[in-house]
Structure 1
Amino acid sequence: MSSLKKKKIRIGIVGYGHLGKYLVQTIQDDDRLELAFIWNRTQEALDDFTKKELILEGLNDFPQRQADLIVEVAHPKITHEWGPKFLQNADYMIGSPTALSDQTLETSLRNASDKHGLYIPSGAFWGGEDIKKMADRGTLQALKVTMTKHPSSFKLEGDLKKKIEEVSEEPLVLYDGPVRDLCPLAPNNVNTMAAAALAAHNLGFDKVQGSIIADPKLENWHIVEVETWGPGSVENNTAFHVKTVRKNPAKVGAVTGSATYASFFSSILGAHGKGPGLHLC
């Protein structure tokens, strides 16, 4: 009696930095998955990749590769330019969800995900499912995410690019306020906060608070603190309150902590076949 072989999920990877390289290798080592294509803005970065037939020279050609899921691990600009187009042909995972701080883009992607799924990986965001459940019930009152890293681990824009130059020997708070305003200033660093704003959908990017701290003495870790307030009185300090502290091993200068790589791959395994609409995974 013969059994039918389960069809492999075809994955397209957009971006070949540290995380992209990890995902490409891990996908090729997994019997459940198949690499449909890989693309990177600079082709030179792919010189060490031996399976040249899988390299996509131009993103315009992505439909020919018939990917089931396209995964962006490059830059928020990819989602701005290609997100709706990807969703016409495949499920799409946004590895840089800071792009969704642009309300017009978020609306456009939600509308485009009428046939395929739009997926947001949890990454370094701990407790996302519980927070989403509270948001679904309308009992989530407040949420704050604080990220502390070595100054060299931040890639900042605008005023924050100048402010980080003020860091000397002590920790410095670079920003404390709404996540929506922070995302464009730290697009590579605060994807965790963007995921939090999407999970906490009754608060969203404007009401979820984010804080980033540069600590020159923090050489081995990225620290992510998530504070959640639920039912009760926040003003009288009688509300439900949970605070988690996540210490992710990270080398000096690393944008992404090492534990996030495996978490991201786990999200890929859960990011297919859930149907249209936005899904956290």
Structure 2
Amino acid sequence: MSNQRKRRIGVVGYGHVGVYLVNQIQKEGDENNVELAFVWNRTKEKMEHTVEPSLQLHNLEDFKEREADLIVEVAHPSITRIYGERFLSAGNLLGLKITMTKHPNSFKLEGKLAGKDLSAIRDRTILYEGPVRQLCPMAPNNVNTMAAAAMAAHTLGFDRVIGVLVADPSVPDWHLVDVEVTGVINETNGQVFSVTTRRRNPAAPGVVTGVATFASFWSSILVCRGHGGRVFFC
């Protein structure tokens, strides 16, 4: 085992992803030189019997006292909205949520989209198509991939990256992400350079997070070794 100081990981949120990450840190932390700094959850009772009392953070305002090197937010976008800047002042922040084409039961919608009767959808249906900026507050649990792309493509940003949210009953156990990058039109022949990729992530019916995503989060934690107060995409 390395003699280097272990990197301390704070986990904000103890849902499916949070439980997975806490278990991984407890199981493989020594060999990867990481340890838990704290675990916070809105409902603290959920941590009882599974998270040691000394590692439970009951008041998120006290996160700095735990001296975490990396804070992983796997709770709700409102947490990052409120605490994101403060998290970054104390450590590195991992932003974690994925959006994709999936079964109607797997969406958690808010705002204007919350009124849609997803249970009535029988065929592939486009719920939204337009700038990512307008979509983010309507589907905060489902648009992390789009938001990350908008931040990475800084010359386009949230207003010029287009997001398409699709509900498709024919894919009950998959989450699909299609990314198309398009270049400028060749004025001579009208041809356009483009690259299209598709990710197929197995997922249990009705869940927000696909199976492969859990391992992706864990891998991202292991490679995140300090980014100067910047957000780290995974």
TM-score between the two structures when normalised by the length of structure 2 = 0.91
2:176 is matched with 223
Instruction: Rate the CA distance shift 1:165–1:226 in 2: closer, same or farther, 3 A.
Output: same
1:187 is matched with 140
| Kept in 2: contact 1:229–1:239 (CA 8 A) | yes
Residues 34-54 of structure 1: per-residue CA shift (max 9 Å, x gap): 000000001121123141210
1:166 is displaced (CA, Å) by: 6.9
What letter matches 1:30 in structure 2? G
Task: Write out aligned runs for 1:146-161 (5 A).
Answer: 147-161=100-114
Unaligned runs of 5+ in 1: 97-122, 125-146
Task: Write out aligned runs for 1:196-211 (5 A).
Answer: 196-211=149-164
Task: Write out aligned runs for 1:49-64 (5 A).
Answer: 49-64=50-65
1:102 is matched with none
1:120 is matched with none
CA RMSD, 1 decimal: 2.2
1:272 is displaced (CA, Å) by: 2.3
Instruction: Rate the CA distance shift 1:166–1:25 in 2: closer, same or farther, 3 A.
Output: closer
Residues 1-54 of structure 1: per-residue CA shift (max 9 Å, x gap): xx9701110000000000000111111222211000000001121123141210
Structure 2 counterpart SS, 1:273: coil
Unaligned runs of 5+ in 2: none
Report which stretch shifted further, 14-23 or 76-85. 76-85
| Kept in 1: contact 2:94–2:233 (CA 8 A) | no
Instruction: Rate the CA distance shift 1:256–1:89 in 2: closer, same or farther, 3 A.
Output: same
Structure 2 counterpart SS, 1:84: helix
Structure 2 counterpart SS, 1:5: coil
Structure 2 counterpart SS, 1:30: helix
1:162 is displaced (CA, Å) by: 1.9
TM-score between the two structures when normalised by the length of structure 1 = 0.76
| Kept in 1: contact 2:105–2:119 (CA 8 A) | no
Structure 1 counterpart SS, 2:90: coil
1:70 is displaced (CA, Å) by: 1.0
Query: Which whole-Å CA distance do the structure 2 matches of 1:19 and 1:262 have between them?
Result: 10
What letter matches 2:121 in structure 1? S
2:122 is matched with 169
Structure 2 counterpart SS, 1:78: helix
Return the match for 1:247 from 200, 204, 221: 200
Structure 2 counterpart SS, 1:268: helix
Query: Which whole-Å CA distance do the structure 1 matches of 2:173 and 2:199 have between them?
Result: 13
| Kept in 1: contact 2:93–2:230 (CA 8 A) | no
Report which stretch shifted further, 62-71 or 271-280. 271-280
Residues 81-114 of structure 1: per-residue CA shift (max 9 Å, x gap): 1112222222222225xxxxxxxxxxxxxxxxxx
> Percent identity at matched positions?
53
1:280 is matched with 233
